[in-house]
Structure 1
Amino acid sequence: MGEVFPYKEIEEKQERTWKATAWTDIELLRKHKTKALCRSVINLLFLSLENRQTIITMMAEQQNHHYHNQVSHLSLKELPCADSKFFDDDGHLKRTGTVWTASAHVITAVIGSGVLSLAWATAQLGWIAGPTVMILFSFITFYTSRLLADCCRSGDSFTGKRNPTYMDAVRSNLGGIQVKICGLVQYANLFGVSIGYTIAASISMMAIKRSNCFHASDDKNPCQISSSPFMIIFGLTEIICAQIPDFHRLWWLSIVAAVMSFTYSTVGVSLGIAQVAENGKIKGSLTGISIGTVSQAQRIWRRFQALGDIAFAYSYSLVLVEIQDTIKSPPSEVKTMKKATVMSIAVTTLVYLLCGCMGYAAFGDLAPGNLLTGFGFYNPYWLLDLANAAIVVHLLGAYQVCCQPIFAFIERAASNAFPDNEFITKEVEIPIPGFKPYKLNLFRLVWRTSFVGVTTTISILLPFFNGVVGLLGALAFWPLTVYFPVSMYIAKEKIPKWSTRWICLQSLSVACLTISIVAAVSSVGGIIIALKSYRPFEVGY
């Protein structure tokens, strides 16, 4: 299964001595955990063990503890086995992420079902401003993501200590109250996004049910459907997916989700092209939606909202550091992350331009908020069902990508606060035929199930929460995507105040702050309108 250490010259007598020393060290763990653990790791590495997990298992059998996190924080630079094939330079079990898995994580986090609303956003801005704004924000996100990638290690960008979370990076480079502000904004936004994904998934599931209802009744039945059962189904599925332990083992779900995002985006673009061919012309105008279709005031507010929607559609900084922490090194994870950023942003921009422009070309000023669930198209209904099913699968993965930082934060805090509590640290092996045993942690099961239950309940109670998610996105875009990356980079590189480079970076920050403010104001307006027609447990669909 794993690699075997090539120490054939070690005699059996020496091996017995090392084993005895290792088990003695494990006994000493009760009194001197850190030092004994270091010695145990060194000794056990020479025992021709088949893989790195065996080390953890042997310790767990003696202490009945989950020492995975403790091992991950050791620095093997101080140990004789610093070049171990089983550990990274920070003592973490060897990371396995590549440019492809990182790209899959990014695409899963970035390309959400919101891509299908870009036709509406383009309609508000027109043929000139719409595509221009998309390209502009792709460059802004690309640039600030590179700055953030450079700040994921303390000190030197390539050899410094790794920071596994966004908060750790801020703590290392800025410190003080900014660490708490970062954590509050990041986790509040991720929590809100998870609720938004639950609502979006239920809308796609309802669209499948409703389109089949229309087809069966020849459009004679209004087909009113409640969203609650679909939210519950999505929540139950997420409870199962949430038991994936961490980001490192989430790669396969991200790849599936990324494929699904391309699937429904391709369907949306194809239907747009077909509609343009049927119309015989390209709809839309250079300056966007015309006065008459909406009032002057509505036109202004819609443009602000469209600007915010496009800006937030590119943002993935809130999980970038956690994604980078999954990447193996060497080659440098900074270089790998930058390659993944280039690939992901390029693909994302292409998809956004195609979906936004083709949807606008097909419907003009009447472009719906969602090409697939807004019934901009009705047929072929089976193709729409396929696309909506792809949205649901994609959102299953996107939900996990967004929630993993929250899961890790709470579980790490609980483990540090109660290191001897078996409910928090103990793992129970559950045999799975044909696979490795699944290691069930009871605290993880209860905590993550409760989290999904809360997000699902809020989704049912507040089906208009997408407006709140828009507000959270507006409030989080500037600090997480622009302010912290720019500020950390300035501090890390010691860029002189009022230098040309400093002024350019701060100007970018101020411009994005302005966009966040106007988008937040427009989101508040949308929430107020939604509250006027609010009915608990009901969705007007």
Structure 2
Amino acid sequence: MVFSWCFTCKHNLGWEEEARSVLLGRGEEGVPEAGSPEVNHVAGTSCSESGERVCSDDHLFVEIPDTAHQISQDSWFQVGFVLTTGINSAYVLGYSGAIMVPLGWIGGVVGLILATAISLYANALVAKLHEYGGRRHIRYRDLAGFIYGRKAYSLTWGLQYVNLFMINVGYIILAGNALKAMYVLFRDDNIMKLPHFTAIAGLACGLFAVAVPHLSALRVWLAFSTLFSLVYIVIAFALALKDGIEAPPRDYNIHGTKASRIFTTIGASANLVFAFNTGMLPEIQATVRQPVVENMMKALYFQFTVGVVPMYAVTFIGYWAYGSNASTYLLNNVHGPIWLKATANISAFLQTIIALHIFASPMYEYLDTKYGIKGSALALRNLSFRVLVRGSYLGITTFISALLPFLGDFMSLTGALSTFPLTFILANHMYLVAKKHKLTSLQKNWHWLNVCFFGCMSLAAAIAALRLIAVDSSFYHVFADL
């Protein structure tokens, strides 16, 4: 089934012909010809919020692929909180150790600022292509396939799956670490180990995945996510500030041999881009109300201004307080009342469950759409499907998380293998192809420079991340209790 979505209502039937002529005049943009599967109508009749005929940002017809999940239901503010949840998830508790320690003050601060700017730019490129070619691209792979063809569709889907799967692995590792840290506060008897807590975290994520059918259904959970984020960020900031004031001078040197420092620096650059990018921007943009591009840009500006402040604060204060000894889970460094540290850890655990659901939603949407899971979320067939399929997916994710619990290394490898290609290489090249007739020679050269530079960075970061995993694997056995 194909739905048409629209922003304004028109009653003048003559407007339809005018819009069609405008649409056909945009051939150089790659807009399909009238009568093709992509263009069957131009929205020109009256409509309501729940109607089937609506228009794009340009008041032209836009086709939307079939999906089992909700489309165009959320305000830009809600979408902004979805994006901010990704930035300020419990991963922020690891950036002091994973980014600042290998890069130092100058490299870390400059790197974070540059990563913020280039990430906003790259995400804006993808957001502006959301309605390219007369259709709404609600999945990243749909956009790549529309521009390049079937092979690019499959390649992009593979890269995105790797990206989201590894992000989810990292979230379950984080949740397990949070539970273990809380357990150690009260009973440091070594009976319960990290793999046990990882299994508990996976079970909790599975229950949440069954209860929340799709991304738009998060709504009130986003408020809880924000609350949980503020709790562990404020507590970590306050306790690290206290420790930093009371502690003797810290060591901020970058340690290791020259070769190891090169590899860790490259790996940290992958962590920089991982911190800001989801690799699923079209899927998130699909949930925003019309006008889609305008509202998504508002959400992005919110993400990269207000949204980055807490992340910056906790990252810098953690490195300032502990220097080169900063942990990849900051709550393991801080000192303070047990009840306060326990509150921070349980908040990190609960927020991670919500954040994981966001990054697992493209896989859920694919499976729900493929097998026709529509209608009431409480229908027996739909509920059983979520229990079986989502439970199996998270079961595999949990097993990998317990098997290889090297969080910093996973962040580096994810950034290298998928975040660099999806967010920077593909975004710049897609925009170059889509807008080639409107770009100046200078603009084209700029996009090609980005493609080549980030291609080299992706290759170098992948080598560095694999080296880190190999080194850590020589120190730790599988199912390690870190």
TM-score interval for Structure 1 and Structure 2 normalised by the shorter chain: 0.7 to 0.9
Considering only aligned residues, what root-mean-square deviation do their CA atoms show, in Å?
3.0
- Give unmatched runs, 5+ long, in structure 2: 5-36, 55-62
Task: Please say if 1:143 is aligned against 2:121.
Answer: yes
Q: Which residue of 2 aligns with 1:309?
A: 271
Q: Which of these residues, 45, 48, 56, is aligned with residue 84 of structure 1?
A: 48
Q: Tell me by how many angstroms 1:524 deviates.
A: 0.7
* 1:449-476 Cα deviation digits (max 9, x unpaired): 2112221222233334763453133111
Residue 341 and residue 139 in structure 1: after superposition, are their counterparts in 2 closer, same or farther (change >3 A)? same
Instruction: Provide the aligned length of Structure 1 versus Structure 2.
Output: 435
Which structure 1 residue ranges, 4+ long, deviate > 6 Å from structure 2? 73-76, 91-94
Is the 1:153–1:169 Cα contact (8 Å) retained in structure 2?
no
- The percent identity for this pair of structures is 24
TM-score by length of 1: 0.73
Residue 251 and residue 74 in structure 1: after superposition, are their counterparts in 2 closer, same or farther (change >3 A)? farther
Q: Which residue of 2 aligns with 1:128?
A: 106
Task: Please say if 1:477 is aligned against 2:415.
Answer: no
Task: Please say if 1:539 is aligned against 2:477.
Answer: no
Counterpart code for 1:382: W
Q: Which residue of 1 aligns with 2:322?
A: 363
Q: Which residue of 2 aligns with 1:377?
A: 334
The CA distance in 1 between the partners of 2:206 and 2:311, in whole Å, is: 31
The CA distance in 2 between the partners of 1:297 and 1:78, in whole Å, is: 60
Q: Tell me by how many angstroms 1:245 deviates.
A: 1.9
Task: Describe the SS at the equivalent of 2:269.
Answer: helix
* 1:343-367 Cα deviation digits (max 9, x unpaired): 1112343223222221121122222
Is the 1:105–1:251 Cα contact (8 Å) retained in structure 2?
no
Q: Which of these residues, 249, 264, 289, is aligned with residue 217 of structure 2?
A: 249
Q: Which residue of 1 aligns with 2:84?
A: 107
Task: Please say if 1:300 is aligned against 2:259.
Answer: no
Q: How does 1:126-525 map to 2 (within 5 A)?
A: 126-155=104-133, 160-213=134-187, 223=190, 225-243=192-210, 244-279=212-247, 283=250, 288-289=253-254, 293-316=255-278, 318-329=279-290, 332-372=291-331, 375-415=332-372, 429=378, 440-464=382-406, 467-468=409-410, 470-495=412-437, 499-525=441-467
The CA distance in 1 between the partners of 2:199 and 2:41, in whole Å, is: 48
* 1:413-452 Cα deviation digits (max 9, x unpaired): 233xxxxxxxx6686856xxxxxxx984433332112112
The CA distance in 2 between the partners of 1:198 and 1:241, in whole Å, is: 13
The CA distance in 2 between the partners of 1:320 and 1:193, in whole Å, is: 15
Residue 396 and residue 188 in structure 1: after superposition, are their counterparts in 2 closer, same or farther (change >3 A)? same
Is the 1:478–1:509 Cα contact (8 Å) retained in structure 2?
no
Counterpart code for 1:412: T
Counterpart code for 2:220: W
- Give unmatched runs, 5+ long, in structure 1: 1-33, 39-72, 215-220, 416-423, 431-437
The CA distance in 2 between the partners of 1:280 and 1:230, in whole Å, is: 34
The worse-fitting range, judged by mean Cα deviation, of 390-399 and 406-415 is 406-415
Which has more radius of gyration?
1
* 1:145-184 Cα deviation digits (max 9, x unpaired): 11000111123xxxx4211111111122232421111100
Is the 2:236–2:334 Cα contact (8 Å) retained in structure 1?
no
Task: Describe the SS at the equivalent of 1:302.
Answer: helix
Q: Which residue of 1 aligns with 2:16?
A: none
Residue 444 and residue 356 in structure 1: after superposition, are their counterparts in 2 closer, same or farther (change >3 A)? closer
Is the 2:138–2:283 Cα contact (8 Å) retained in structure 1?
yes
Q: How does 1:21-60 map to 2 (within 5 A)?
A: none
Task: Describe the SS at the equivalent of 1:242.
Answer: helix
